[in-house]
Homo-oligomer: A and B are copies of this chain.
Amino acid sequence: MIQIRKLDSTAIDFQETLDALLAFEAETDFAIEQAVTGIIAQVRARGDEAVVEYTNKFDRIPNGGAADLKAFEIGQAELDAALAALPDAQRAALQTAAERIRVFHERQKQELQGFTYTEADGTILGQRITALDRVGIYVPGGKAAYPSSVLMNAIPAKVAGVGEIVMVVPTPDGVKNQMVLAAAAIAGVDRVIGIGGAQAVAALAYGTESIQPVDKIVGPGNAYVAAAKRRVFGAVGIDMIAGPSEILVVCDGTTDPDWVAMDLFSQAEHDELAQAILLCPDADYIAQVEASIQKLLPTMPRQDTIRTSLTDRGALVKVRDMDEACEIANAIAAEHLEISAEEPQQWADKIRHAGAMFLGRFSSESLGDYCCGPNHVLPTSRTARFSSPLGVYDFQKRSSVIQVSEAGAQTLGKVAAELAYGEGLQAHARSAELRLKS
């Protein structure tokens, strides 16, 4: 038996209870901050040597550790061999997923082409889109090593046209995850180095003798990696620091309750802090989902994680109606939002904030996690209010282009000078005025 929280939106303390349930603030661990600051300083000062030392120690590299960074290079032949050695079904699945991810992200690229327009006086204004030169992708080692994440991080960079994609992945005890290497081969990663932790982040950000600095670092990692990414931000770009993963299911009560229960499990199995919430206007249906949860939980290999996650952070919420469910969904701004309902579009139209929306009962989140095509790196912890899924646009940037004609300088110069004098910036004003014909 599992005790899962049941809430009712008409309860007087509902909002307060929901807010408390949603609250998640990553704590700052000063011991980690301090350790990471030291590691970064060492890598900046001593380069390869420091990276090798830390890697030998933290990843328990066997046989007394590696002598130099070259020993951690994982060459193309090794990636290709890992791909060839996969079971056929697994290789085919990875390839299908990669191709679908590529197709979706090509659409993102098509959308962002930049623009130019010419004004009547010949002045040209525009916006140019260019790809980043070099990107680092962090891939965790050990139990959280997900080949699907390699595809989701590397393919958008590839589609964007990034010049060089460098992947780092730790090899704890010297063990390499073959499926991760196979995914790197499929995604077209340019270089793979078997290092991880804050030392890998520092090496990517600042460069060493054998690693050229990158322009941006993406990908998930443990608390040390997250702290290191935060610290190197500015020197390089980073993606969002992800919080625990979340699913919100809005259901009208017409979906097989086993399906909804399993969808909640699929989020809860990630880790104990993951959050799975159901909103439904039908109390009987909620009871059926609860029964499905009780029935199906013992069949799940990761039932301990699921139980803790659902008990601590999950909820089954009875709402007044589907309209209210949509309002609450906007306040939650979930990473994953399933609208498991007849004619889901009517409800989707009311949603303003969600990382990804899964519409209709056949759109389980798990399909999106692996192979629908859209990215599975999504804004967590209500950040979908202001941020977006990882995409091609994260590996591109814009530059404004301004080409003022001589005629344009006559009109614009007077406006600029007026405002510059108003702000007390006389060199700005004079710079505009010098271009005026007397």
**A258 contacts B146, C-beta separation under 8 Å:** no
**B259 contacts A367, C-beta separation under 8 Å:** no
**B418 contacts A89, C-beta separation under 8 Å:** yes
Would you call A60 an interface residue if the criterion is a C-beta within 8 Å of the partner chain's C-beta atoms? no
Would you call A14 an interface residue if the criterion is a C-beta within 8 Å of the partner chain's C-beta atoms? no
Q: Known: A374-B400, A412-B372. Contact between A112 and B115, CB under 8 A? A: no
Would you call A117 an interface residue if the criterion is a C-beta within 8 Å of the partner chain's C-beta atoms? yes
Q: A110, A147, A301, A403: which has the most chain B beta carbons within 10 Å?
A: A403
Copies in the complex: 2
| Complex Cα gap A351–B269 (Å) | 47
Would you call A369 an interface residue if the criterion is a C-beta within 8 Å of the partner chain's C-beta atoms? yes
Would you call A76 an interface residue if the criterion is a C-beta within 8 Å of the partner chain's C-beta atoms? no
Would you call A212 an interface residue if the criterion is a C-beta within 8 Å of the partner chain's C-beta atoms? no
| Complex Cα gap A215–B330 (Å) | 13
Would you call A420 an interface residue if the criterion is a C-beta within 8 Å of the partner chain's C-beta atoms? yes
| Complex Cα gap A258–B434 (Å) | 8
Please name all residues of chain B whose beta carbon is closer than 8 Å to the beta carbon of A400 when the two chains form the complex: 355-357, 368, 374-375, 378, 389
Minimal beta-carbon separation of A118 from chain B (angstroms) = 12
Per-residue interface assignment for chain A, residues 38 to 74, with 1 indicating a CB less than 8 Å from any chain B CB and 0 otherwise: 0000000000000000000000000000000000000
| Complex Cα gap A274–B15 (Å) | 49
Q: Known: A256-B434, A266-B425. Contact between A241 and B237, CB under 8 A? A: no
Contact count band on A: 35 or more
Interface residues in A392-422 by Cβ distance below 8 A to B read 393, 397-406, 408-409, 412-416, 418-420, 422
Query: Which of B215, B354, B370, B388 contacts A416, CB < 8 Å?
Result: B370
| Complex Cα gap A301–B366 (Å) | 64
| Complex Cα gap A73–B133 (Å) | 47
A397's nearest neighbour on chain B, judged by CB, is B388
13 pairs across A/B with beta carbons < 8 Å?
A90-B419, A90-B422, A112-B112, A259-B435, A262-B427, A266-B431, A301-B424, A344-B403, A357-B400, A362-B404, A366-B420, A366-B429, A378-B400
